[in-house]
Structure formats: structure tokens, C-alpha cells
Chain A
């Protein structure tokens, strides 16, 4: 068998193409109908679904934020009870972190990474389907609990002993901990898929130094997920055991330790920030290259900076615990390491500025969001340097200063690039463009609303307003700014509303996009929009970092994959030399059924430990169905 034909001329390709394409379509298509929708393993369908679901959670979380701002608009307001408020801020935080930010970034990768590395599906596509369903179940668990007034009320950080059995009665904290389990399983599964897809399924010739920066960012992110999630898994499992089985991991009266929880939680929780931020670094790098029509400046520094960020991310969790009374020497170390992360962050910023400097900026909506990102994220990064300092932090920790800081980092650092990315990749996902006019309005309102909402919170924090309070007394000088913030939040919400309207409208009525509307350089733009089920008619061969700019319309291609079976090229890790043909699993209903069985087991376990035993039986049955070997005809080649 030969891997490379001679580079075929367009005429050669056209000859057998009609038939080949029909065969590919037959092989890779998802059946229509409900059963097809439930059993598809197409990364594009799952990715779109995942992204859309995460955005629904963003919208719901935003509604909660508005509810909080209503309550805080006036001192001693009584719109929302203390109990309800605590549920709302807990669900808002948990939702935004676990159901929106991490999943949406991974979902973007599920959609984009296979396209960008030039393959036909993600690695482990059935696991991919499973991870979506389990994520959805975790999200529903949290939101249904809020609708039933039994939502967690212990904060998204769920500190013990408040979340422990003694002070967190009822099932609220259990629901929180189990929701975490769902999202852990989902996030870990996707992370593994991404790592394997990037390392083993890259198009021939896409050596490590030709991987698009977005793909690098998702690779580093996936490793962060793989290393950070077990810590929270350990924490949430121990919490569940304390609550349901009567272990005493966190009970100081019985030899447990309340701070153990914080160490485990933040060992996950700080890398979590970079799990959310690094994909945005990749998105910005991709977009800034397209909207300056220049390769992003500093490929190697950017990649190294992302890896450095990933490593350092594990060395600074203690800065969340500066006021917990830890030994001073330790705190000094964590001050230094927290400060140090500004260096890779600065490197990234400077590389982007250099790209802007050298290129010809094109002010389309995604570019506007990049500029908004740069302004906002620099402020967030600088206040990050402030809270990294132990003495500074003793004044602002757990105040609105921190609320302001992390919204600058998370919204400025991730959501701005993400919305830009939606405008940017929307044509590739739907075949249609979003509206440039609405895009400008959305950007203007979101950017203005954001800064008017969150900048004053810095001042409120320095004025002594603690966070997580459902009300505050009128005699303190906070009322004016709080009202201002609440009104500004409406502007921010209006911007998001326009964005959502634009998305819904453009899905059906946007102008058709064509394969490469922005004249971008990476492989996902080498196919029609939206991509056919098989992604690439011929697997491309990559010869540079910007294949579409250097090779133009006629990418060299690899041949030799079968048309009648789902096959992928498996390539070597470093040089991406083709090594083997690998069958890619067919559609299957079993991942969906396995997700249902797993969800029932996890949710029932909140109420009885026996659910773990009995619930394991349907899980085992569905997993058996999933992995049951199917007779395949002998490979004749």
C-alpha cells in the first residue's frame, strides 16, 4: 500500500471525485431522525451541540447574575431571600465554571481540532458522544435542583465544614458534589480525546512545529485537565463520603482537616483558570493572524509561554489561601510563583502586539473582540499581580475587588475571545455568516457594559464590601456604586442578548459563507462550510504552518484510505509521518444509554450508597453493549 500518490492535479481529482464523494458521504453520514441524533459520533454534530448547550448555560447563568444585581442594587433590599440568594450565587459560579467555561472551550476543540489537524473524526468518538450526554445530565441536575429550591447553597468552592454533613444539611451539597463528578468525567474524557487526536491523528507532514497555535493551546489545556481534575475528583468524592457514608476526611474533631479541602480544591481550581484561558490564547492567536493577514508573531515563544503557564498553574493554588493562616515561608513562595505567571502572560500579549504592529489590522467583529480582550485582560492580569501579593491580598481577598479581578480575567480573558471566535468560526460551523452590524452593536454593548459593571467593583472591594453577601447596610458608602453596577449590568446583558439574537437569526438567514470567507490560513478553511460528514475529501498533506497561504487552493493530499469504511490516518507523534490506517467507530446508541445508566447511578447515590452497587449493573450492561466487538470483514490490503 502506498501512502502518497503523486500530488494530483485538480483535473485528476475531479475525475473520480463524484463517485468517491458519494461513497464517503454514505460511509460517514449520520442517519437522520431521533435515533440518529442520539447515536451520532460525528465530532462536528457533537461539537455544535456541546457549544450550543454551553451557551444556553451561559444565558441561564447570566440571568442569575442579573437576579443578584437586582438584589444588590439597593441596601437592605428584599427581592430575594438570603437562602435563595445563596443558592443563586452558588449555581451562578458552579454553572459558569463547570457547565459553561470549561465545556465550551472543550466543545470548541471537539469541533475544531479534528478539522485543524486534518483528520475525519476525533479520537474515541463514542467516548466523545458519552461525554456530551454526561455533561448534559450534570447540567440538568444542577438546574433542576435550583428549580426545585434544593440547589447547593455553599458557594461554587463548597468549603468545608460549611458544605460538610454538620453544617450543610439536606441534599444540597451532595447535589453540588455529584454535579462536579459529572463534569469531571465529561471534561476528562474530552481531554483524553484531544490529546490522542493531536498526537496521533494529525495530517501527514504536520510536524510539531506546524501545529496551529489553537491546537497547541487545546493540547496544553487537555493536559491541565488531565492533571487538575483528579484533585477535585478526590475532593468531591471525599466530601460525598463524609456526607453519605460517615467518613471524617474534613472534620477536625475527628482528626480530619478543613484546610485539606481547600488545598485539593484550589490545586484544581487555579489551573482551572488556565484551562479556561489557554484555549482563548489559541483563539486569539488564530484570529489575530487572520485579521492582520500575517502569521502570528512568535510561534515558539507563544507555545513555550502556554506550556510555562500550564506548568506554573500548578504552583500557585495557595494564593487562594493567603488568609487561611498558612506558614509565612510557604506564602512567600506562592507570592513569587503567582507573580511569575505574569511573565508568560506578558509574553503572549507582546507577541500579539507585535503581530498587530507588523500586520494590517482588519476591523471585523472578531478583531473588535480581540481588542476588547487585550484591554480587559491586561487590566485583569495586572489586578492578578496585585492579589498575588500576600499583604495586598489580606485586604482584598473575598471582597468585590476579587470579584472584579476574576471577571476581568474570565470574561475579558476568555468570553471576549470566545465570542469573537463564534463570529469567526460560525461560517465554518453553519455555512453562514453572522451580521457585521449586529456584531458591532453586540461588541459595543458588551464591552461598555462589562467595564461599567465590573470596574467599580474594584473600588467597592477596597471600600470594604465583602463578596457573597446578599445585602448590605445603608450606612456604608456602597449603595451608589452598587446601583450603578446593577444598571450597567443591564447594558452588558443587552449586548449578550443581541449576540444570541444574531446567532439564532444567522443560523437560518445569514449570508452564505463559502469555504474561506476570512482568507484564513489553517486547514479547517480548506473544506466547504459547513464541512461534509467526512471533513476532507482527501486527507491533506501539510508543508508549512500556514498551508492555505503557502499552498493556495491546491493542497497536496494523501490517498489510500478506504471509502467504504470509516478510516483515519494514524501518524507519528513528532513528525506526523503516516504510520497506519485506523478504523474509526461507527454510530452507536450505547454511549447514550451508558450515559443515562451512569447518570441514574450517580444521582441515586446521593440518596443511598446502595445505588452505587445496584446502579453499576445497568452501567456494566451498557458498557458491554458499547464495547461489544463487531464482526468486520477481513482487511484485504
Chain B
């Protein structure tokens, strides 16, 4: 009775951003079908059981002292039958699960590999390459090519996190001291939101990521651009911002390739200006929000690991110009 409208909801209404019912990859699609199958089968079971209960409650019962052994026996048969039916349904659903499972980890010979490292409370992505010079890092936005498997190696450096982009596939934990793996496959280009799913401390709520699936050509261009070091900004305000960045503690925590900043505590900022969000999905990457973030990271995302670095409003303008210039 409750399930029936819910089914309709499940099947149509609740697709949307970051939804398991809005699949855009083969793995998520297999899972979506499995979810629909389970909901349908369980919905039927629920309706049947509730029907029997309602009937039992409303039917006019016999006199309490009528002879019982016969009903006892026939009810025994019915109950035994229901138990057998339960067994059959359970077996069917178990088999369906096993059938859907391989879709989760579709191993391909040698797909491109990205190292995903969960940190409190942001994501570090390392695009591995046999040539160490071509390996680079970025944060919070994962670019993948459309139509091909991408292999993720999942690691955590502090506590347990969980990588979850429901439109593309099921989640997988990142456990310190272990390495897990996940295969991503996007069928069409788009931006998919994901979020850490394992409670990882104070700002677990603000540990989002974006997966940007792009056509292979676009992706190749993006890769080339990212591999390059940061370009010295031409604009004088941004150039001044660079000086501020290097003279303040910023450089101790962040890396900007091509400069002397090589800290590893915070996200790599080499091409931060090209990202669409900052602070692990908390804010749009506009100059205003960059300035707001630098001016007061602790009110926007209380307890995060970025300290408040005192800067003048002049310096703040310069820093935000610099961040936006890093493209």
C-alpha cells in the first residue's frame, strides 16, 4: 500500500543530481536495474503479506472453541509453503545480485589509472603516467574521458573515506593502509557530483567532488594543459598576488608547479583557476568566493585544516586574482 506509490516515485520521479536512479554508466545502469528489480519483487511480497494480514484481521473468525487439529494441520501446510516461497524469492534475488556484481569492477587490460587519495576533507587526484615527469596532481575535480573504463586506485592518508559518484557506479571505501580499486565508466559527457560517504570527521558533509566526463579529444587537451606548470600571470595584480602567496604561509601547504611553492598538506593549486568549485565542492570558483575563502576559511567550513592567514584587503584582492589566473 505504501510501496505502490513509492514504486512510481522510484521508477520515475526521483532521478536527479547525484542519484543512484539516474545512471550514466554501464555499472550504475546495472545497479539501477537491480534496484528496480528488488523494489518490484519486494513490493509484491509486501502487498501479498499485507493482504493476508488484512484478510486475517477482518474475516469473521470462528468460535474460539471450534475443533482445531484440522485447521492446525492445514495452516501448517500454508505456513510451510510460505517459507518455501520465501526461500525461492531469496534465492532468486541472491542470484540476481551475483549477476549484477561483475559490473562493479570491470577489469580491462590496461586502462588509464588515477590515484585517488581521500584527505580530511578534500580529494587528491594523481594522474599516473609511466613517465614521472608527466604525472601530475589535481584536487576535487576528476576529469575522465567518455566511453572508456578508468581505473581508480583508492587510498586514504588520514581516516577512512568513501568515494561515491552514484550516477556512475557504487561507492568504495578508501582505507588507510590498504589500496582499493574502482572502475569508472561514463557513457556520456557531463558533470557528475559525488560525495564522501563514510563519516570522516568534522567536515564530512563538505567533502564533495565533481567528475567531469568529456569527449576523448577534449580530455586529451585537458590532460596536456594540466601537465604544464603554472604560467606566470601577465596581469600585474595577479603577479603581485603571487608574491603575497609565496611570502605568506600559503606556500608551505600548497604546491604550484613552476614556482617554489611545494607544500603537500593542502590541495595542489597549479591550475586552480580552471576548476569550477573550490573547498571540495563548497563554493563556486569565482573571484569573490576565493577571496571569501582566503579571508575566513573557518567560518565557511569550520574545523577544516586551512588556517586563517591574516592578509590585508589589498593582498586579498591580489591573491584572488592570482588564484583565478592559475589556469
Q: Using a CB–CB distance below 8 Å, which chain A residues touch chain B?
A: 81-83, 86, 153-155, 159, 161-162, 166-167, 252-253, 256-259, 293-294, 297-298, 301, 323-325, 328, 332, 335-336, 339-340, 342-343, 346-347, 349-351, 353-354, 356-361, 371, 374-375, 378-379, 382-383, 385-386, 389-399, 451, 455, 458-459, 462-464, 466-473, 475-477
Contact = CB atoms under 8 A, between A and B. Distances in A.
B177 to A, nearest CB: 2
Given A325-B180, A464-B166, A167 B159 contact: yes
Interface string B48-59: 011011011101
A323 B170 contact: yes
B293 to A, nearest CB: 16
A375 B1 CA distance: 10
A395 B166 contact: yes
Contacts, number: 249
Contacts of B96: 389
Nearest to A86: B202
Contacts of A353: 49, 52-53, 56
Interface in B79-108: 79, 82-83, 86-87, 90, 93-94, 96-98, 100-101, 103-105
B158 A167 contact: yes
12 contacts: A82-B205, A258-B176, A325-B180, A335-B94, A353-B52, A356-B53, A361-B57, A389-B34, A390-B104, A395-B166, A395-B170, A466-B197
Contact of A356 (B3, B57, B98, B195): B57
A343 to B, nearest CB: 6
Contacts of A343: 83, 86-87, 90
From B39, B61, B64, B176, residue with most partner A Cβ within 10 Å:
B176
Contacts of B162: 323, 398
Which secondary structure characterizes the binding site on chain A? helix
Contacts of A342: 86, 90
B75 interface: yes
Interface of B: 2-3, 6, 9-10, 14, 16-21, 28, 30-31, 34-35, 38-39, 42, 45-46, 49-50, 52-53, 55-57, 59, 61-62, 64, 68, 71-72, 75-76, 78-79, 82-83, 86-87, 90, 93-94, 96-98, 100-101, 103-105, 120, 154, 158-160, 162, 164, 166, 169-173, 175-178, 180-181, 193, 195-205, 208, 281, 302-303
A382 B71 contact: no
Contact of B61 (A86, A166, A359, A386): A359
A374 B302 contact: no
A390 B101 contact: yes
A393 B14 CA distance: 18
Given A83-B302, A463-B19, A472 B205 contact: yes
Given A167-B158, A297-B79, A325-B172, A462 B21 contact: yes
B57 A459 contact: no
A397 B16 contact: no
Q: Which 7 A-B pairs have the closest CB atoms?
A: A252-B177, A394-B170, A464-B18, A325-B180, A469-B205, A389-B97, A382-B42
B172 A394 contact: yes
Given A359-B61, A378-B49, A463 B94 contact: no
A399 B197 contact: yes
Contact of A161 (B20, B30, B53, B159): B159
Contacts of B193: 464, 476
Nearest to B39: A386
Contacts of B30: 391
B10 A469 contact: no
A342 to B, nearest CB: 5
Given A399-B197, A469-B204, 4 more contacts: A253-B177, A346-B86, A391-B31, A462-B10
Contact of B170 (A358, A359, A391): A391
Contacts of A477: 14, 16-17, 19
A154 B201 CA distance: 7
Given A323-B171, A471-B205, A398 B197 contact: yes
A357 B60 CA distance: 10
Contacts of B35: 386, 392, 395, 462
A378 B56 contact: no
Nearest to B23: A395
A317 B177 CA distance: 22
Contact of B16 (A159, A346, A455, A463): A463
Contacts of A82: 202-203, 205, 302-303
A129 B17 CA distance: 55
B177 A257 contact: yes
Nearest to B179: A325
Contacts of A350: 78-79, 82-83
A354 B200 contact: no
A393 B202 CA distance: 25
Contacts of B198: 159, 398
B14 A161 contact: no
B177 A258 contact: yes
A354 B176 CA distance: 51
Contacts of A336: 94
B220 to A, nearest CB: 30
Contact of A258 (B53, B160, B205, B281): B160
A466 B164 contact: yes
B93 A389 contact: yes
A614 B162 CA distance: 43
A296 to B, nearest CB: 12
A459 B9 contact: yes
A335 B79 CA distance: 25
B41 to A, nearest CB: 9
From A347, A354, A393, A451, residue with most partner B Cβ within 10 Å:
A354
Contact of A392 (B31, B82, B154, B159): B31
B94 A389 contact: yes
Contacts of A475: 17
From A342, A375, A378, A382, residue with most partner B Cβ within 10 Å:
A382
B11 to A, nearest CB: 11
Contact of A391 (B34, B166, B195): B34
Contacts of A340: 90
Nearest to A162: B159
Contacts of A358: 61-62, 68, 71-72, 75
Contacts of A464: 17-20, 164, 166, 193, 195
Contacts of B57: 356, 361, 371
A159 B31 CA distance: 27
A529 B180 CA distance: 61
Nearest to B86: A346
Contacts of B2: 379, 451, 455
A460 to B, nearest CB: 9
A357 B56 contact: yes
A349 B49 contact: yes
B31 A395 contact: yes
B46 A398 contact: no
B302 A391 contact: no
A371 to B, nearest CB: 7
A347 to B, nearest CB: 5
Contacts of A323: 162, 170-173, 197
A393 B20 CA distance: 11
Given A161-B159, A464-B18, A81 B302 contact: yes
A259 B177 CA distance: 9
A362 to B, nearest CB: 10
A339 B202 contact: no
A455 B6 contact: yes
Contacts of A389: 34, 38, 93-94, 96-97
B86 A357 contact: no
A468 B20 contact: no
A256 B173 CA distance: 18
B171 A395 contact: yes
A82 B38 CA distance: 36
Contacts of A297: 72, 75, 79
Nearest to B200: A162
A144 B56 CA distance: 49
